[in-house]
Amino acid sequence: MRWLLALLALLSVPAAAQKRIALTFDDVPRGRGAFLSPDERTRLLIAGLRRAGVRQAAFFVNSGKMTDPAADQRRINSYAAAGHVLANHSATHPALSDVTPQAYLADIDRAELWLRTQKGHRAWFRYPYLNEGRKDKAKRDAVRAGLAARGLRNGYVTADGYDWHLEALAVKAVADGKSIDRAALRNLYVETQVGAAEFADALARKATGGSPAHVLLLHETDLAALYIGDLVAALKSKGWQIVTADAAYADPIAEEATRYDTPSAQGTLTEMLAWAKGLPAPRWYERNDEALLTRLFDDRVLHAPTPTTSAKP
């Protein structure tokens, strides 16, 4: 009876007051990670999402990164067969600030040519590195126009916890033969991603007066495969409802993705909104800092605190 009362209470909360978030995974397909083969990762990630009750996540694909095309396509198809959706993350993952708009759009076209033949395809494009040209507004606007002409929508994110850096630290620690506290790694991964969601929602409420359907940026990593169930449980314990990527990108906040002129087009949509509304810093999550995350990893996961320079002579 208690669970029924809790459910009824949740359903009575207006949608704008609820915390809603979709899960998305970049850089598919990735190679071997810290602990798992690519095939093991895919199986665990699909199973973990299913057990956690996540009906639909989005996987953003780099079609030109397939080092083993048959195996990589099989893994990508497995995500779609499980009910998840596939979208464009470019063919080769270039940074827009490093190439011309024409070359960048050609790379997107190469990926889209393959993706639109795949089950579960969505006409969304996510900028590699979330880089929309940084301070080059002419380049930003040229690509935005190119995407619109192609019928591609911005696959923006609102919350980012630098999970890719935690994975890179784990890979390096394994390669260096260091002892990893796996329970501590799980806890650091989960709390960092939940913290990113909480920060993004608080910032969005300040900027817009409400809580949009959020989009969490994750990557197809071993950490995600191993700990996605723990992450979803932790999000739910904080009052988050996991929604589909389709539902998140149908939120009215999606219209804001190309509306504002900000000092630097790189980062989350919530950061862009905060800039546009004139909100003071911090406009980004404190753990979106490689040095800080490295210190936390060394201290908590390797139990080897990062040396600091002493102020004493």
What's the pLDDT tens digit per position in 8-17?
Answer: 334 434 444 5
Question: pLDDT class for 72, splitting at 50, 70, 90?
Answer: very high
Q: Which residue has the higher pLDDT, 307 or 297?
A: 297
Structure confidence at residue 176 (pLDDT) = 98
- 31: pLDDT strictly greater than 80: yes
Least confident of 39-48, 246-255, 261-270: 261-270
Quick count: other Cβ atoms within 10 Å of Cβ 89? 27
Question: Which are the contacts of 23, defined by CB distance < 8 A and separation ≥ 6?
Answer: 49, 54, 57, 58, 216, 218, 228, 232, 242, 245
- Write the pLDDT tens digit of every residue in 112-129: 999 999 999 999 999 999
List of domains in the chain:
17-300 (3.20.20.370)
Q: What is the mean pLDDT of residues 210-215?
A: 97
Give the residue from 207, 185, 137 showing the smallest Cα distance to 300: 185
Residues making up the chain, counted from first to last: 313
Structure confidence at residue 306 (pLDDT) = 66
- 209: pLDDT strictly greater than 80: yes
Structure confidence at residue 21 (pLDDT) = 98
Q: What is the mean pLDDT of residues 225-246?
A: 98
- Write the pLDDT tens digit of every residue in 152-205: 999 999 999 999 999 999 999 999 999 999 999 999 999 999 999 999 999 999
- 248: pLDDT strictly greater than 50: yes
- This prediction's pTM: 0.92
Structure confidence at residue 9 (pLDDT) = 39
Structure confidence at residue 17 (pLDDT) = 56
Q: Which residue has the higher pLDDT, 225 or 263?
A: 225
**In b/e form, how buried is each residue of 273-285, taking b as 16+ CB within 10 angstroms?**
bbbeeeeeeebbb
Residues of the chain with pLDDT > 70: what percent?
92
Quick count: other Cβ atoms within 10 Å of Cβ 59? 26
Q: Which residue has the higher pLDDT, 156 or 313?
A: 156
Structure confidence at residue 7 (pLDDT) = 39
- 308: pLDDT strictly greater than 60: no
- 305: pLDDT strictly greater than 90: no
